[in-house]
Amino acid sequence: MNATAAIATARAAVEAARASPQSRKKAMLAALLIDAAVDALFEMCGESDVLAFRADVCARAPQLRPVLDLAAIDGTSLVLEPVEVDIRDYPALGVEDFMVSLYNGRTVPRVLIATPDARRIDVHEALSAALAALEAEVR
């Protein structure tokens, strides 16, 4: 698959994951497809060392790092955790989140990237940022 097609496939997966915001499986699939698109970009560029190429891409576009770490399936993982909603953020909350949060201690479930150093990153924001960075690389 060429890089353009690979990125289009990854974009569709990122959109599908957003449409099912609580699905770890769809988020992981999107991460894997972004990872595959980086490899397709390597093929397109005609470089000789794929690991060096991936390191260079991540250096230029650090937004890719958490997603590629997730795709490596080695220490970084996806978790579904309740996240407390600040009262000031309520007006912007989606109706489903609003309804469910009211009787669950003002928390909503969120799919998060859990890093080995115990940080948490919203997976959908990470996927969108990584995809945008990848598209910029192609341009």
Partner 1 sequence: MPKLTLTSADGFKFNAYRADPEGKPRGGVVVIHEVWGINKWVRSVVDRFARHGYLAFAPNLLDRVSFGFESEDYAAGSAYATMADKMRAFDFKKALMDVEATVKAASEGGKVGITGYCFGGATTWRAAHAGLGLSAASGYYGGGIPNYVDLEPQVPLEMHYGDADSGIPLEQVEALKARHPNVGVYVYHAGHGFCNSDRPDKFNEDACKKASARTLEFFHKHLG
Integer Cα distance of 75 and 43 in angstroms: 27
Residue 128 makes contact with partner 1 by CB under 8 A? no
How far apart are CB 10 and partner 1 at their closest, in Å?
A: 22
How far apart are CB 79 and partner 1 at their closest, in Å?
A: 11
Residue 66 makes contact with partner 1 by CB under 8 A? no
Residue 117 makes contact with partner 1 by CB under 8 A? no
Strand partners, 118: none
Residue 100 makes contact with partner 1 by CB under 8 A? yes
Integer Cα distance of 64 and 67 in angstroms: 5
How far apart are CB 58 and partner 1 at their closest, in Å?
A: 30
Integer Cα distance of 101 and 90 in angstroms: 10
Token readout for 86 is: 């600040």
Residue 15 makes contact with partner 1 by CB under 8 A? no
Token readout for 25 is: 């499986």
Site string for partner 1, 20-59 (x = CB under 8 A): xxxxxx----------------------------------
3-state secondary structure at position 121: strand
Cα angle: 109, vertex 115, 117; to 5 degrees: 120
Residue 120 makes contact with partner 1 by CB under 8 A? no
